[in-house]
Amino acid sequence: MKRIALGLQYDGSSWQGWQTQLHGKTVQDVLEKALAEFCQHPVETVCAGRTDAGVHAFGQVVHFDTTAERELFSWVRGVNAHLPSSIAVRWATEVEGGENGFHARFSATARTYHYLIYNHPIRSPLWEKRAGWAFRALDVDAMDRAAQSLVGMHDFSAFRAAQCQANSPIRTLHRIHVQRQKDLIAVSLTANAFLHHMVRNIVGSLIQVGNGNQPVSWVADVLESRERDLAAPTFSPDGLYLAKVDYDERWGLPQVESDLPFI
C-alpha cells in the first residue's frame, strides 16, 4: 500500500462543493470515481480544505492510499482522462503513509484563499460564477486598511457561519491584502486555518467599508464583538478560490502559486 498526494484544480460552478453527498454531484465523488476506474479498486480521498458549493480551487491538495502501481506522470494524465473538463489533477507525488505519514488536512501549515470581486456598475457575463459582483464603486485603500485589524490570532466568531463545526473560533490570520487591477479587486488571505464561511463573511464586511456604508474602524469593532449578527451578510461563493496549501518542505510537495498574475 502506498500513499499518493495530488494537486487539484477545479471550477466549482457546477458542483455541490467538495464533500461527498448521496446525489454524487460533488468534486470528491467525481474524483473518487475517476481514481477507482484508474486504480481498479475503491479509493477514499482526504482533502486539505472542504470547499462549499460554487467555490473554486487553484491548489487543492488530496491524499489517498492505493495498491496500484503507476508512474507519477500516469497519475496526472490517467486520472484526468476519467475526469470532466471542470476538474483536473495538476501534479502527483508519492508521500510517506501510515499513522505518522502525510495527511492532506492535518499536515498543512497554512492555507491561502483569494476572493475576486468584479467592481463595475454593469454585471459582466464573462465573470459570471468566476467573481462576486459589487456594482457600487469600492475604495480599495479603505478596505485594505480595515482588513489589517484582522491580522493575528483572534476569536473570529463574528465571521463564523452558524453551522460551523470547528471546535474553536480561534484562528491566526497571517496576511490579508486588498488590491485592484482595473475593474477586478482581489482579497487575498492566508491563515493557519479558516472557519466555515469565514472568508466570505470577511469579504462581505470589507465591501461595506469600501462602498462607504461603514467606517474603516467598523471591521475591528465587529471582530471584537464576536457577534455574527453585527457583521455583513455572507457574500456570494462565486469569487472564492482555494489558492494554495502550505506544507513542511520534508513532504516534497510542489508549492504551486495561483494563476492570477497580479496577486
The residues assigned a catalytic role are 52
Is the sign of the CA dihedral 238, 45, 166, 109 positive or negative?
negative
- Give the pairing of strands 184-191 and 170-181: antiparallel
Crossing angle of the two packed helices 140-147 and 218-225, in degrees rounded to 10: 30
Contacts of 124 (CB under 8 A, 6+ apart): 118, 133, 183
Q: Which helix (H) or strand (E) holds 80?
A: helix 72-80
CA distances from 11 to 25, 60, 75, 139, 145 (A): 13, 11, 20, 29, 31
Could you give phi then psi for residue 63, rounded to 5 degrees?
A: -135, 155
Is the sign of the CA dihedral 147, 150, 152, 156 positive or negative?
negative
Mapped onto helix, strand or coil, the DSSP state of residue 87 is strand
User: What is the torsion angle, in degrees rounded to the nearest 10, for the CA atoms of residue 222, residue 228, residue 230 and residue 232?
Assistant: 90
